[in-house]
Structure 1
Amino acid sequence: MTMEITGAGVAGRYPFAKLHGLGNDFVFFDDRDETMDVSVDQVKRLCDRRFGIGADGVILVRPARLEGCDGLMYYINADGTLAQMCGNGVRCFAKYVVDRGIVDAARGSLTVETLAGPRAIRFTMDEAGRLATAQVDMGAPVLEAAEVPLNAAAADEAATVVAEDRAARPCDGQTRSCATTLTLAYPGGPSFAFVGVSMGNPHAVCLIDDWEALPAHLFKGGEKSLETFDVDAVGAYFESHPAFPEKTNVEFACVDDSGIAMRVFERGCGETMACGTGACATLVAAALTERSERENDVHLRGGTLHILWDETDHVIMTGPAEEAFIGEVEL
């Protein structure tokens, strides 16, 4: 189940930094002394784009609890719920700690503890001595329905997607890649098929092959396409569908010769410019359904991530991280 933070709130003036990965943006606080007991209301106010700083979430930089890790990314969604993992957020975390000398840039790598476990990161530096790109080992995708988690009983139809000769994963006692596809009806039609994938947080990936086949009321005018698809309405409906007991991130994507184009409705945030874990989950779903090879570019509204599902079954995400500005805020 999703969890809200339980902080009673803090008072005072605090320095912060605003970072983003392809427009997926975060308010960072240095909480290495673990004194920032922020409340749900404070998180919502910080993330408000009219009355606050504006962000998709708040990230507290805390000391690692696991041996071998360089810090803990404590990530809170804009609605005050905790998130196990955030692909763009973890790249920004790396930039925050490397650019400030918390981690020695000469190492070229670090390991970040997340609520979904440790993530190993290699990084490159720009000419000014700041982190430019980060390559994150996102671990193996979780495909078993109970672990995503999915509630197949709440679906109109459920099926197993199996891809032979792919990464070795247990499926019905055999070594092959498999995942569950749920077909779910949208009010007023039609039904959508979602591939369930967890990258430390749950994802429901819908790959669309024919936009013209969808009814006009699902688009915001103009030509039927991913760009005009009403992600706000459709994504919000499926985010909290009973088929997803912990709610879910919802991806809509299509594949062509240039790569995979994707938009995402993030759990606890709404549509964002980019989602790193969502890009990874979408590549896995596209590979499983034989729409894509196991390595491809994923094009998001804020830019492009390069995703590789390698021979060890790990998903490797490569992309940029940028700092927008720093300041102080009254809490």
Structure 2
Amino acid sequence: MEFEKYNGLGNDFIFIDGTGEAVELTPQQVGFLCDRHFGIGADGVIVVRKADGADGYMHYINSDGSLAQMCGNGVRCFAKYLVDHGMVDASSGRLLAMTLAGPRPIAFDVDDEGKMTVATVEMGQPILEPAEVPCLLPGASLGRLGTVACEQAIDSPWGPFAFTAVSMGNPHAVCFVDNWQALDDGLFTDAERKGLDTLRIDEVGAWYESHGAFPQKTNVEFAEVTPEGVRMRVFERGCGETLACGTGACATAVAACLTGRAERAVTVSLKGGALAIEWGEDGVVRMTGPAAFAFSGTIQL
């Protein structure tokens, strides 16, 4: 099987062309492809398929073999795949990507060779109604945007954490930490340097990912406000910690605005780099960031 490898801020994906013939992968095959020791290594697999009324359909599969409705970094890489392969007119500057979460209009820039460099994705309006996220948080309150779950405390073995529930086509639980020193020492790889960088997100993120408050599991973000904007780390549902998460950055920006921590336009910094996020007055969240080609090859399944 031929493949190509792309990444958006280090969030990496294996691309397989499914436009000519049907490509169906088992969870075991996806796990092998994404394995960083025995396979190619990636956070997920994207099968490129044709779509009626759109330039292509992005079929995204998490590294554990589960389907994902949407992936922000993945859809920018998907746009680059379509542009760089001549499946859309590079001079048009726009395309429409179909996903399980619905259509996503994308504006893009290209370099002198006609290869895509940066894309702005219309990620749609955030879903804030708890039942539609979905989440089961009893303290959800009625605000000007309807019923929203903001800063709702959920207990854990390390004490309670307050989450804001947002869906960007996939569920997110965003926790802003205002006082790292108040948290349990066991949450950090270095108790002398408590902070976002030393947080054991692989443990606490995994614990909340499967919490009963989230019937379809959830992506988990821990974040803090800085003079430059917002910093965050993410434990992705069905994947684990990744260097970046586009939908997570969008959800975090929305949560920051909802809780009064940021304006509607904010820079969200992740381990792999920064994304510009704007929650427009029209309700649509727009994400701007890069996408890069890494390498291509063949592998036997």
* Pair in the same fold by TM > 0.5: yes
Corresponding residue number in structure 1 for 2:25: 38
Q: 1:260-279, aligned counterparts within 5 Å?
A: 260-279=230-249
Alignment equivalent of 1:150, drawn from 127, 135, 156: 135
Aligned-partner residue type, residue 179 of structure 2: D
Alignment equivalent of 1:225, drawn from 191, 195, 219: 195
Task: Give the TM-score normalised by structure 1.
Answer: 0.88
Corresponding residue number in structure 1 for 2:169: 200
Corresponding residue number in structure 2 for 1:160: 141
Corresponding residue number in structure 2 for 1:138: 123
Corresponding residue number in structure 2 for 1:182: 152
- Give me the identity figure in percent: 57
3-state SS of 1:142 partner: coil
Deviation string 1:83-102 (CA, Å, 9 cap, x unpaired) is 00000000000000100101
Deviation string 1:254-298 (CA, Å, 9 cap, x unpaired) is 011111000000000000000000000000000000001110100
Alignment equivalent of 1:248, drawn from 209, 218, 241: 218
1:87 counterpart = 2:72: yes
Aligned-partner residue type, residue 139 of structure 1: G
Query: Deviation of residue 152 (structure 1)?
Result: 2.2
The number of equivalent residue pairs is 300
Q: 1:1-331, aligned counterparts within 5 Å?
A: 14-65=1-52, 67=53, 69-152=54-137, 158-160=139-141, 162=143, 169=145, 171=146, 178-187=148-157, 189-221=158-190, 222-331=192-301
Query: Counterparts of 2:130 and 2:68 in 1: how far apart (Å)?
Result: 19
Aligned-partner residue type, residue 104 of structure 2: R
Aligned-partner residue type, residue 37 of structure 2: R
- Maintained 8 Å contact 1:84/1:200: yes
Query: Counterparts of 2:140 and 2:129 in 1: how far apart (Å)?
Result: 12
Query: Counterparts of 1:127 and 1:218 in 2: how far apart (Å)?
Result: 48
Question: Gapped runs of 5+ residues in structure 1?
Answer: 1-13, 173-177
Query: Counterparts of 1:78 and 1:34 in 2: how far apart (Å)?
Result: 22
Query: Counterparts of 1:111 and 1:290 in 2: how far apart (Å)?
Result: 33
Query: Deviation of residue 180 (structure 1)?
Result: 4.2
Query: Deviation of residue 326 (structure 1)?
Result: 0.6
For the aligned residues, what is the CA RMSD? 1.2
Query: Counterparts of 2:142 and 2:29 in 1: how far apart (Å)?
Result: 42
Query: Deviation of residue 15 (structure 1)?
Result: 1.1
- Maintained 8 Å contact 2:126/2:166: yes
- Maintained 8 Å contact 1:59/1:75: yes
3-state SS of 1:95 partner: helix
Query: Deviation of residue 232 (structure 1)?
Result: 0.3
3-state SS of 2:205 partner: helix
Query: Counterparts of 2:108 and 2:92 in 1: how far apart (Å)?
Result: 9
Task: Give the TM-score normalised by structure 2.
Answer: 0.97
Query: Counterparts of 2:275 and 2:35 in 1: how far apart (Å)?
Result: 26
3-state SS of 2:299 partner: strand
- Maintained 8 Å contact 2:64/2:239: yes
